[in-house]
Structure 1
Amino acid sequence: MRKAILALLLAASVTPALAQEKTFELKLSHWVPASHPLQKALEDWGAAVEKESGGTIKSKVYPAQQLGKAFDHYDMARDGIADVTYVNPGYQPGRFPIIGAGELPFLMSDAKGGSMALDAWYRKYAEKEMKDVKFCLAFIHSPSSFHSRLKKVMVPDDVKGMKVRPAHATMATFITQLGGTNVQSSAPEVRDIIERGVADAVTFPWGSLVLFGIDKVTKYHMDAPLYVTTFAFVMNKDKYNQMSDRQKKAIDDNCNTEAAGRVGEPWGKFEDAGIDKVKAEEGHEVYKLTPEQTALWKKASEPLVKTWGEGVKKTGVDPDAAMAELRAALTKYNALAQ
């Protein structure tokens, strides 16, 4: 009898804690093919959260725009169409001006360090700029450049008159400043628009160039760290707020700067490996810039910093201070381009 009463008392003390923990199955959405390294990154993220939540937060990854278009992924997380989404802030010009600092030319040199630096720097700004969602982490891919079907792009003047699909809003502004015309499309649509002659060139990372088949419709490739693209994982706020403290901790422990490095590093290696793949293909010309040509590109990109700063001022943030902070973070993580 005494044992039975003791068992009931123990059960009573445990039950309220367990009752608070609903089981969740999160929808993790992205818009690249399932063969892209981002698929594994999100699967690994979900597995880590499941383990740390004691199995109460499970997840399923939905690749290739299954739940919505690439451009809509921020709003999909905000509206609960998906629970965690992969966002390219530069797909929506003017909406996320602060994080656009990471897209400025010749700024970052390394995917892992750049991802950690961007994430550590952006956290305080995300509370303002991405307030509709729970910001999880920010990251980048490896430094990337121009790929063209008709001619080599050697100096800034070569862009004049070209139709270019830019990687993001910052590159779009750069193309316009250089006298080119922007052709907007999401990454999965790039091969088609180049094949049909709607675009002459694209700014794109190397491994993804091969993955999306864009190497089949381009010939000339600039091997220079012209730019990176900033990305983020964001989460639906309501779903997060429904969770217990233990479950929130499982999310938070995988929404930090270390996690950003874990996402950025393998993707960076995947993109870097693409350079040798393209070089090995017949009929492709991969070329480097001379120091003089690089200097011309850096000079031509200076107005971009001013344009970025003007956009940031409108949010009430001091762009000079923000840029100094970003450069300090890049120095700390050994990812500042020389």
Structure 2
Amino acid sequence: MRIARLLRGAALTAGLSGALALGLATERASAQEHQLRLSHFLPPVHGIHTDFLQPWAEELAACSGGQVAVEIFPGGTQLGNVAKQQEQVLAGVVDIAHGLHGLPRGRFPRTSVIDLPFLTESADAASRTLWALLPDYLAEEYQGLKVLALHAHNGGLIHTRGTRVATMDDMRGLRIRTPSPAISMMLESLGAIPQGMPPGQVYENLEKGVIDGTVFPWDPVRSFRLAEVLDHHLDARAYTVSFFFVMNQRSYDRLPAEVQACIDETSGEALVARFGEWWDAWDAPGLAAATEKGNAVAVLSDAERDRWRAALEPMIEAYLDALEEQGVDNAREIYAKAQEYVARFEAN
């Protein structure tokens, strides 16, 4: 009799536990009623994933009281192709994307002005300048998208395998991977042969001798393990490359007002202001990886920098001419305004 009572009690407890678990699962499913897909092209060890995108998704979930869950697809996944970030988010294949403006080429001609050589050296000034330019000068390039942030990396270096680069003469004939049309023109003007390719292919092509070097800030030297296949690094700080963090406008408009408010709160100017500090932190391990391997690190001398600046002035004019021919009638106005903003933010 006692055993029977115990069995009946156990059955009742199991039933109550099952009902409670089902209720909690239903409550969680109900709470996370908005599932968003976010894609980017970088490996999940990169700071953009670990320090920016993943915490941003968690912050959005917390702000919305658990109404939103963000699934992230990094580089190497089916949605992580660097050349497809813009088209995926425009088509609604993903709701949010972080991508590189220069790939595929020609889609963001106005925004590409930030890539021009010697315009800026810091991620902070470059990112704040992009955000300041957006309302009046860049917005038409983001139709169908809600811009959550625009940003750029710290002044980039020239990294090479087998050849030391310290002067413009050393650049002659080197096959250098390039991320954007502006950087391609810069490399050509310095005597190099630009080679377009996604960041994830640089390691293999360096190892095989297909290219002699690449332009990057310090951070990919660690995140893409490039210290293993590089020997020399020239801290030229001659250029930057920019990125977008955008959301499909229809996806945003479908969300309830309180969730939209959370997205607005976790993005925009306050988010843009964090990239300077972030990029300094992301660059440090790259420099450390190169140093630990014993790679040679040089800094472009002031005299050589002046020489590069003079050599690149016609290239900058030619690039602005090309933008005007493409229909960006106010290309020079955008460039002048970018110079003004950079000077202001770097002074601060």
Q: Please report the TM-score for the alignment, with normalisation by the length of structure 2.
A: 0.84
Q: Name the stretch that deviates more: 108-117 or 206-215.
A: 108-117
Q: Output the amino acid matched with 1:328.
A: E
Alignment partners' CA distance in 1, 2:261 and 2:151: 21
| Aligned partner of 2:73 among 62, 70, 73 | 62
| Aligned partner of 1:119 among 128, 131, 135 | 131
Structure 2 segments unaligned to the other structure (5+ residues): 1-30
Contact preservation (8 Å) 2:73, 2:80: no
Alignment partners' CA distance in 2, 1:28 and 1:277: 30
**Secondary structure of 2:98 counterpart:** strand
In structure 1, the partner of 2:153 is 141
| Aligned partner of 2:53 among 32, 36, 42 | 42
Matched, 1:28 2:38: yes
In structure 2, the partner of 1:170 is 182
Q: Please report the TM-score for the alignment, with normalisation by the length of structure 1.
A: 0.86
Q: Output the amino acid matched with 2:203.
A: R
Contact preservation (8 Å) 2:137, 2:334: no
| Aligned partner of 2:311 among 300, 308, 312 | 300
Alignment partners' CA distance in 1, 2:327 and 2:56: 32
| Aligned partner of 1:243 among 247, 252, 255 | 255
**Secondary structure of 2:306 counterpart:** helix
Alignment partners' CA distance in 2, 1:148 and 1:293: 18
Matched, 1:291 2:274: no
In structure 1, the partner of 2:238 is 226
Alignment partners' CA distance in 1, 2:80 and 2:218: 25
| Aligned partner of 2:203 among 183, 191, 200 | 191
In structure 1, the partner of 2:330 is 318
Residue-by-residue CA offset, 1:194-230 (whole Å, 9 max, x unaligned) = 1111101100111211221211111111012111110
Q: How does 1:87-98 map to 2 (within 5 A)?
A: 87-98=99-110
Report % sequence identity: 24
Residue-by-residue CA offset, 1:106-125 (whole Å, 9 max, x unaligned) = 22232233322222223433
**Secondary structure of 1:315 counterpart:** coil
Greater relative contact order, per chain length (Cα 8 Å cut-off, separation 6+): 1
Matched, 1:214 2:226: yes
Query: Larger Cα Rg: Structure 1 or Structure 2?
Result: 2
Contact preservation (8 Å) 1:139, 1:263: yes
Between the two proteins, the alignment pairs up a number of residues equal to: 315
User: 1:329 Cα deviation (Å)?
Assistant: 2.0
Q: Output the amino acid matched with 1:231.
A: F
Structure 1 segments unaligned to the other structure (5+ residues): 1-20
